[in-house]
Structure 1
């Protein structure tokens, strides 16, 4: 059963050999965002083949690291968080991540998490960031 659930995340790897990045995603992010990045019709955004669009703008890239689920995550190791975010961006983001997108670094994660997003209306902020990223992606 577990192998069937995590199979799409393995990219040809054995279900018994989940690496630290995928295991961390499953433990810390998968409960809300889904094990395959598909959260369904909820308040939590779907990641699969969508999340990469945010990397089209500097604002979107910053948003990815300052949103509460990342900036206040229990994943306190910046290098590991960078690896998890790269998994999200490149593996789960798939075709939505533009060619040439640079990977997150531990330094970038550390800097951005020092300035967490603070808003009383996260859905409105998210909608604005998404709209601008989509407009940018459509002009590429």
Structure 2
């Protein structure tokens, strides 16, 4: 059965009109909230990333890495920052560079309770556009290479 164009458009309009459900209770304040969290970025994450990484960023152990409590640790280095953009699901997303930068900022701002490292800057569209041209062929290998003990980094607030 094929969708008629007007039915498909109506389905997308209905989905876009749905409210984005937040976390139960008030979220804990996060330090260094220079990473903007917008409703559009939250919606884009849930629509394009949440199916695998889950709405709370917990991932699927053994299959899809968790973002929760770990994503900020990649911002300690240029390579880690590039990794977040060059993971195939991110680099090959059909979202624009602007919207993808917003989603990455949402992930850092919402899923890491310690917040980003001091001095870390939000992702910008031009940075995302330049990095996503080179998607990783083996994201797992790169992730393992980037993993370093947190104790080797300066204290996070």
Task: Find 2:114's aligned residue among 89, 92, 95.
Answer: 95
Q: Which runs of 5+ in 1 are unaligned?
A: 13-17
Pairs within 5 Å for 1:1-140: 6-8=21-23, 19-75=39-95, 77-95=96-114, 97-119=116-138, 122-131=139-148, 134=149, 138-140=152-154
- Distance in structure 1 (CA, Å) of the matches to 2:97 and 2:59: 25
Greater fraction helix: 1
TM-score (norm: length of structure 2): 0.71
- Over 3 Å counting, the alpha-carbon distance change for 1:138 and 1:71 in structure 2 is same
TM norm structure 1? 0.79
Larger radius of gyration: 2
Q: Assess if the C-alpha contact under 8 Å between 2:52 and 2:60 holds in 1.
A: no
Q: How far apart, CA to CA, are the structure 1 residues paired with 2:152 and 2:59? A: 24
1:10 CA drift (Å): 9.6
Aligned length: 127
Contact 1:32 1:44 in 2 (8 A): yes
1:9 deviates by 8.7
Show CA shifts across 1:25-77 (max 9, x none). 000000011101111413211111111100011110010111101101121x1
1:86 and 1:103 in contact (8 A); partners too: yes
Tell me whether 18-27 or 54-63 shows the greater mean CA deviation: 18-27
